[in-house]
A = this chain, B = another copy of it.
């Protein structure tokens, strides 16, 4: 008498239902769909353009044809707009879902680091799975336990529950002029090894760094990190991968400056 509840597209398999198409915003998305939306949001944000199929494929480590297929489905769900051979861009409902995932991911990262002693190079992988399994209540309780933090352990801003994301202007350390000094705002969180390396240089959100020199041809950057120790101990040469992973606060633009 327990009437199995012919679940929505929910998660595991299932069958049943008719042709869904308009995502009335309420139905639960699968973990896969959630990851696509998150990736597309980040690509749009990062490039300012429609997200390209191959870029999505690379980010998710999935073959391009699989992405093509999924994009068609996401478009049918009205989570994004899709024109063949052009890229995709999220609809309002897609963006809402993406921001929700970003919040979940970052709250989880912050909680693991703040309450369970996780090192910052391992929180990403854990959050990548938990973000799909945690209830909204759990996310809220974790955020509350931390006093509603504004940033994750890597410096990325945490969207609020209502989907607001404060976008502070940031630039890559790689783009900074020689001689300039800036505050580290964030470090890309995908590569754990890079995070461990960066931490060994005492670079983390909040540290001040000065660009001492830049080798030609997109070459290594010599930076001086503020902190303890001799100037020599605090000076390091970092490759362009690292210099592009480290984001600094954009210098404050005064109106009509020199």
Chain A residues engaging chain B, CB cutoff 8 angstroms: 2, 4-5, 11-12, 31-32, 58, 61-63, 112, 115-118, 122, 125-126, 129-130, 132-135, 137-138, 141-142, 145
Q: Which of A117, A122, A129 has the most C-beta atoms of chain B within 10 angstroms of its own C-beta?
A: A129
A63→B15 CA distance, assembly (Å):
12
Q: A2-B61, A12-B32 are in contact. Are A141 and B118 (CB under 8 A)?
A: yes
How many monomers of this chain does the complex have? 2
| Chain B residues near A134 (CB-CB < 8 A) | 126, 129-130
Select one of B4, B132, B142 contacting A133, CB under 8 A: B132
Residue of B at shortest CB range from A118?
B141
A5→B62 CA distance, assembly (Å):
9
Q: Which of A62, A141, A142 has the most C-beta atoms of chain B within 10 angstroms of its own C-beta?
A: A141
A2→B61 CA distance, assembly (Å):
8
| Chain B residues near A32 (CB-CB < 8 A) | 12
Interchain CB contact under 8 A, B4 and A63? yes
- Can you list 12 residue pairs at the A/B interface with Cβ under 8 Å? A2-B58, A2-B61, A4-B61, A5-B61, A12-B31, A116-B142, A118-B141, A122-B137, A126-B135, A126-B138, A129-B134, A132-B133
| Chain B residues near A31 (CB-CB < 8 A) | 11-12
Minimum Cβ distance to chain B for residue A144 (Å): 9
| Chain B residues near A130 (CB-CB < 8 A) | 130, 133-134
| Chain B residues near A125 (CB-CB < 8 A) | 135
Residue of B at shortest CB range from A32?
B12
Minimum Cβ distance to chain B for residue A1 (Å): 10
